């Protein structure tokens, strides 16, 4: 079967020729990988597109088949869309991605003049009232995608899914290991049909002993939970065990952090695999799992355990190795986050508080002393901070380069980003939830302007027609 045509980004005019073999040669052309500084006085290169030309995107020409659901996989696919990839989101007919129902809040879908794709009435709320629209949760991870509903149990739909995998550059899925084999969509089958495919599989606990375990974020964050089996008793990623107040109930993070971190790891792995394909023409399997991503995020806490053999415990907002690096009470008990990372900053803090003698006190002079005498230190600081509000202290301490700030709500954080010129919110159409702006800023290949997440099977007719046609026909334009 002929391979589909995939437009690839043009290499720079001065790029070295690519190896002609299927595998890398292990050597680089002379001078490759070295940087030569331009002559003194040379004008810096411009990254801007020529006047009137649309800016290039880093992943122009890349097609992503997003078979994943919930958060980690969809968020990784949305990030690839930000970078210019075309993303097709494949969902179950009738219900779609689980997160379409994860509300409230729900937002009404824009009118389409069509019945629900299943031909049925919309799913009801608890209590029986019909629910129109999609949960805001879904919109958070599904911007800039085309929607296609396929029932993998239907032979025709399964064939369309296999054809999509054959045409794609990247496939993302989070099915339980082995469950896609019966549809011909496991990585062995997809890469046999499409050797250049980067197949990314996301699981909760890997493809070994944890392969059959469902991987919801909350379970992975947990510090063990009821030991109804030995394996589940040892499952948790440890984050909850170090989150909360000393002696209190372990707490999860306020967002599905394991999923978000896994999404970023998946994106990194996919981009690395695409770079390898640029050199060799060969795709590969990319495996990530929530537990490993969360363990990797424990950084100093995991390193401290490996160094001492002791388990860290919860410390509230305090830092185990730095002081003061926590929230401190100001006037009326309002909280100020202070992050003093070195002795110079502590001296500036002490002076700004009108107590320079604190920096000369043997209990507080060095960071390790401050950590050992944290209780006395915090009492001394809060006694002086009580004279002003967090906002007042933020102005005074920031002026002397002491990192600090009030504890913002989500709305206040967005307002702060707007004041700082970061444009944190991007509109995606009338009546649709605005999107949080991508944090990426690329001078030569800026991120794409996002468009609204798809309704269930919104682009299904055009995509099914495309998948049933010649493989070298281009993807129909997005409307």
% of the chain exceeding 70 in pLDDT: 79
Q: For residues 134-161, give the mean pLDDT.
A: 97
Q: Tell me the pLDDT tens digit for each residue of 356-409.
A: 999 999 999 999 999 999 999 999 999 999 999 999 999 999 999 999 999 999
Specify the DSSP class assigned to residue 3.
P
Q: For residues 408-418, give the mean pLDDT.
A: 96
Query: Could you tell me which residue, 342 or 48, shows the higher pLDDT?
Result: 342
Listed residue (27, 79, 4) closest to 279, CA to CA: 27
- Give the pLDDT of residue 214: 61
Q: What six digits make up the tokens of 474?
A: 């281009």
**How far is the first Cα of the chain from the last one, in angstroms, to the nearest whole number?**
30
Q: Tell me the pLDDT tens digit for each residue of 432-479.
A: 999 999 999 999 999 999 999 999 999 999 999 999 999 999 999 887
- Give the pLDDT of residue 45: 55
Catalytic residues: 259
Alpha carbons 106 and 189: distance in angstroms, whole number: 38
**Residue 53 pLDDT class (50, 70, 90 cuts):** confident
Alpha carbons 179 and 170: distance in angstroms, whole number: 19
Residues β-bridged to residue 107: 134
Indicate if the pLDDT at residue 116 is higher than 70. no
**Residue 239 pLDDT class (50, 70, 90 cuts):** confident
Q: Please name the residues in contact with 163: beta carbons below 8 A apart, sequence gap of 6 or more.
A: 467, 468, 471
pTM, 2 dp = 0.81
Alpha carbons 48 and 62: distance in angstroms, whole number: 22
Indicate if the pLDDT at residue 422 is higher than 90. yes
Q: For residues 40-50, give the mean pLDDT.
A: 56
Q: What six digits make up the tokens of 178?
A: 């082995």
Indicate if the pLDDT at residue 122 is higher than 80. no
- Give the pLDDT of residue 24: 33
Check if the beta carbon of residue 386 is closer than 8 Å to that of residue 329: yes
The overall average pLDDT reported for the chain is 84
Indicate if the pLDDT at residue 220 is higher than 60. no
Indicate if the pLDDT at residue 34 is higher than 90. no
Burial class (CB in 10 A: 0-12, 13-18, 19+), 442: middle
């Amino acid at each position: 079967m002929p391979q589909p045509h995939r437009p690839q980004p043009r290499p720079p005019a001065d790029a070295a020729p690519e190896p002609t073999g299927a595998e890398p040669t292990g050597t680089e052309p002379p001078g490759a990988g070295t940087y030569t500084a331009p002559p003194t006085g040379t004008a810096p290169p411009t990254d801007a597109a020529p006047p009137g030309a649309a800016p290039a995107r880093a992943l122009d020409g890349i097609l992503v088949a997003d078979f994943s659901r919930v958060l980690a996989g969809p968020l990784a696919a949305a990030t690839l869309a930000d970078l210019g990839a075309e993303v097709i989101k494949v969902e179950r007919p009738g219900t779609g991605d689980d997160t379409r129902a994860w509300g409230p809040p729900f937002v009404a879908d824009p009118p389409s003049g069509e019945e629900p794709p299943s031909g049925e009435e919309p799913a009801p709320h608890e209590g029986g009232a019909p629910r129109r629209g999609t949960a805001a949760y879904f919109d958070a991870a599904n911007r800039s995608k085309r929607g296609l509903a396929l029932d993998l149990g239907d032979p025709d739909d399964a064939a369309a899914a296999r054809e999509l995998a054959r045409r794609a550059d990247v496939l993302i899925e989070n099915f339980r290991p082995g469950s896609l084999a019966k549809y011909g969509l496991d990585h062995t089958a997809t890469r046999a049909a499409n050797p250049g495919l980067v197949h990314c599989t996301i699981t909760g606990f890997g493809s070994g002993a944890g392969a059959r375990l469902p991987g919801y974020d909350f379970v992975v964050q947990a510090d063990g939970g009821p030991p109804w089996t030995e394996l589940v008793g040892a499952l948790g990623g440890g984050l909850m065990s170090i989150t909360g107040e000393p002696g209190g109930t372990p707490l999860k993070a306020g967002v599905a952090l394991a999923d978000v971190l896994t999404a970023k790891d998946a994106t990194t792995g996919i981009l690395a695999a695409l770079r390898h394909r640029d050199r060799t023409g060969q795709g590969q399997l990319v495996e990530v799992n929530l537990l490993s991503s969360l363990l990797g995020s424990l950084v100093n806490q995991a390193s401290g355990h490996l160094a001492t053999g002791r388990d860290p415990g919860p410390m509230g907002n305090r830092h185990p190795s730095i002081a003061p690096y926590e929230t401190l009470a100001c006037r009326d008990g309002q909280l100020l986050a202070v992050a003093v990372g070195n002795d110079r900053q502590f001296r500036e803090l002490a002076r700004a508080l009108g107590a320079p003698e604190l920096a000369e006190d043997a209990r507080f002079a060095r960071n390790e002393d401050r950590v050992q005498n944290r209780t006395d230190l915090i009492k001394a600081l809060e006694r002086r901070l009580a004279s002003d509000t967090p906002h007042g202290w933020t102005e005074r301490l920031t002026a002397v380069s002491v990192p600090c700030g009030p504890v913002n709500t989500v709305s206040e954080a967005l307002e702060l980003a707007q004041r700082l010129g970061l444009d944190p919110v991007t509109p995606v159409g009338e009546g649709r939830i605005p999107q949080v702006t991508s944090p990426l800023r690329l001078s030569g290949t800026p991120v794409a302007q996002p468009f609204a997440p798809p309704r269930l099977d919104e682009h299904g007719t055009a995509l099914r027609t495309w998948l049933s046609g010649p493989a070298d026909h281009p993807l129909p334009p997005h409307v």
